[in-house]
Chains A and B, each alone.
Chain A
Amino acid sequence: MIKRLFSPGIEHKKARWGWVFIFPSLVFFALFNFYPIFNALHTSLFRKKLLSLKPPKFIGFDNYIYLFNSPDFWNSIRATVVFTIGTFIPMVIFSLILANFIISRKRFQKFFQMAYYSPAVLSSVVVAAIWLLIFDPRGLSNQFVNLILNMPGIDHKWLANSVMVQISTMLVYFWKYVGYFTIIFLVGLASIPKSIHEAAKIDGVNAWTGFWYITLPLLKPTTILVSIMSMLQCLKTFSTQYLFTQGGAPMEPINVITLNLYHTAIRDHRIGLASAMSIILFCIMLFFTWLQFKGSRSDEVSY
């Protein structure tokens, strides 16, 4: 062991080059990623106000205790959970269905892919702005729903009613990301060898049974990947809710953790409290990331 450390063998020399290539990114990470995270952890134990000259006071876990007793924070957790579950489950199901439908068509595959993915390239701000216009009481969504239900002149309060505004944010997010996950499913589908489906067809398996007993089990890794990715995406949501509240929607029903965090840190300057909040969110997301790693490793499929 000691000999290996001191003798500059080829492997050792090679390893050193590895560090050389990674070094710039690593330094950057240490400075701008690890340090801020530890800083947040540290700050979360203090009562500290931004820009105030008073020295921060060490209060231990009081910030966390305060948060867990604060109805406002619990409301944020509720809003985040409702939004995440209400968005990612339909998203996974729909993108799975869409990908299967697209790949079963012989023509226009590229066209559908492009059309479905197009909302994903827009920034969330632009997306939210467009949908604010559509959800306006005089806007397209009311007219459309009333046309279908054939009851003109009814305002469905897309942005005013506390239930409707939650559904609205989900619709916006769904619109933006469904194509993105459809494409990931398409890649997963394309990696399943054609011979399997052909063999099934010869054996007289119909489309539905084939999907349920062949495609779906083989797609399991992709499905897990998409589920966790979309879940993490939903937990991170900020712009949609921010713009909606700026546009006059009520804050409480859509006050997700990220929005609450932003207000606590930047508007109220309660940086210690905000740090505690971000650590909690970090733990939640770390848990799901870990789950993704575990899921993607144990579910290798061999064809």
Chain B
Amino acid sequence: MRMEAAKIRPGDVIAKTLIWVFLILVCIYCLIPFAWMLSTSLKTEAEAFRMPPTWIPLKLTVDSYIGIWVRKNFGIYFFNSTVISLATAALSTFFGALAGYGFSRFFFKGRRFLIGFFLATQMLPGVLLVGPYFKILSKVGLYDTRTGLIIAFLTICLPFSTWMMKGFIDKVPDELDQSAMVDGCSRLGIFFKIVLPIVAPGMVATILFAFLLAWGDLLWALCLTSSEPMITVTLGIARTVGEFRIIWPMLMAGSLVGGMPAIILYVFLQRLLVQGLTAGAVKE
């Protein structure tokens, strides 16, 4: 400590200040678009591009927020997105947990190969499967349905849910399984009654990720749905952008409402999200 105190030089102070300034500038860059979205959504259309820009609207109005439900079908979009994302998140986490447990505990032949395969599919861009999916879903009559979209999202989410769940289950000691086996518990019993409750926080994190993935997708919704009653929030926003005249306050209100679930989940479950992020990304 003493040495440190004696060693403070003007150069250190400048470096320290520069680091703070840099960190704060990046912070502003990250947060300003959020503020601008909020501010614009509360403006009248005439004020949206006022010069100089006003951060606090001169004339506060919530017309845009009413407009997206009344003049646009945001209610339907929201409902579709919610149903599809929830179903995707629940299914992919459940099947991911099953497979993750299988990979974590049983060293069968071909295990390494299969893990590699699961990981490789995680890298697949969705766009690859768009053509074949379009064909297959049209053939079985699932084109332009919510079920079709859920299946498509599951394809994207499952590898990564499996990987994340495997990471969480790896941390549960195998001795627990074995002692339960000695007590006469079946394999499925161990999975449902012992392992799943322990990895519950991990499951929540996985559900969150899958939910956000499905909620934020545009490509699949664009390719696999077409009619108004099947449109998701993201597709609704994209279509608004494509319109001849964009009403910016309304688009921003829609974006904010569409981004809300993600923002809320993030603010309240931030620790879990970061934990899940690193469980999937960084090897043990």
Contact A179 B19 (CB under 8 A): no
Known: A18-B102, A32-B151, A115-B31. A125 touches B238 (CB 8 A): yes
Contact B29 A175 (CB under 8 A): yes
Contact A43 B19 (CB under 8 A): no
Contact B238 A183 (CB under 8 A): no
Within 8 A of B (CB), among A1-26: 14-22, 24-26
**Complex Cα spacing A125 to B77, Å:** 14
Contact B265 A121 (CB under 8 A): yes
Counting contact residues on chain A (CB < 8 A from B), the size range is 35 or more
Contact B246 A247 (CB under 8 A): yes
Contact A17 B187 (CB under 8 A): yes
Contact A28 B95 (CB under 8 A): yes
Contact B132 A36 (CB under 8 A): yes
Q: Does residue A113 face the partner (Cβ distance < 8 Å to B)?
A: yes
**Complex Cα spacing A30 to B248, Å:** 44
**Complex Cα spacing A259 to B128, Å:** 11
Contact A136 B128 (CB under 8 A): no
Within 8 A of A (CB), among B90-123: 95-96, 98-99, 101-103, 105-109, 111, 114, 116, 118-121, 123
**Stretch touching chain B among A81-89, A209-217, A278-286:** A278-286
Question: In the assembled complex, which residues on chain A have CB atoms less than 8 Å from the CB atom of B187?
Answer: 17, 20
Within 8 A of A (CB), among B28-73: 29-34, 36-37, 40, 49, 51-53
B residues contacting the other copy or chain, number (CB 8 A): 94
Q: Does residue B180 face the partner (Cβ distance < 8 Å to A)?
A: no
Q: Does residue A158 face the partner (Cβ distance < 8 Å to B)?
A: no
Contact B246 A36 (CB under 8 A): no
Q: Does residue A122 face the partner (Cβ distance < 8 Å to B)?
A: yes
Q: Does residue A289 face the partner (Cβ distance < 8 Å to B)?
A: yes
Q: Does residue A58 face the partner (Cβ distance < 8 Å to B)?
A: no
Chain B proximity of A167: nearest CB distance (Å): 15
Known: A18-B105, A129-B237. A101 touches B19 (CB 8 A): yes
Q: Does residue B80 face the partner (Cβ distance < 8 Å to A)?
A: no
Chain B proximity of A76: nearest CB distance (Å): 12
Within 8 A of A (CB), among B223-270: 223, 234, 237-238, 241-242, 246, 248, 251-252, 255, 258-259, 262-263, 265-266, 270
Chain A proximity of B163: nearest CB distance (Å): 11
Contact A130 B37 (CB under 8 A): yes
Question: In the assembled complex, which residues on chain B have CB atoms less than 8 Å from the CB atom of A125?
Answer: 216, 218, 234, 237-238, 255, 258
Residue of B132, B223, B246, B258 contacting most chain A CB atoms (<10 Å): B132
Residue of B49, B106, B127, B191 contacting most chain A CB atoms (<10 Å): B127
Question: What 17 new A-B contacts, CB under 8 Å, besides A117-B266, A125-B255, A236-B127?
Answer: A29-B158, A36-B132, A101-B22, A121-B273, A122-B263, A123-B216, A123-B217, A133-B252, A143-B51, A178-B30, A184-B281, A188-B282, A258-B127, A258-B219, A278-B128, A281-B128, A286-B120
**Would you give 24 A-B contacts (Cβ < 8 Å), ordered by A?**
A15-B107, A15-B109, A16-B108, A20-B187, A33-B155, A36-B132, A43-B131, A43-B132, A101-B19, A112-B23, A116-B27, A121-B212, A121-B259, A122-B262, A123-B259, A125-B258, A130-B37, A133-B36, A134-B36, A178-B26, A232-B123, A262-B219, A265-B131, A288-B123
In the complex, the 10 A-B pairs of residues with the closest C-beta atoms, listed nearest first: A18-B106, A123-B216, A21-B102, A15-B108, A36-B132, A138-B49, A25-B99, A22-B102, A246-B242, A125-B234
Query: Taking beta carbons and an 8 Å cutoff, which residues of B are in contact with A?
Result: 15, 19-20, 22-23, 26-27, 29-34, 36-37, 40, 49, 51-53, 95-96, 98-99, 101-103, 105-109, 111, 114, 116, 118-121, 123-136, 138, 151-152, 154-155, 158, 162, 187, 191, 212, 215-219, 222-223, 234, 237-238, 241-242, 246, 248, 251-252, 255, 258-259, 262-263, 265-266, 270, 273-274, 277-278, 281-283
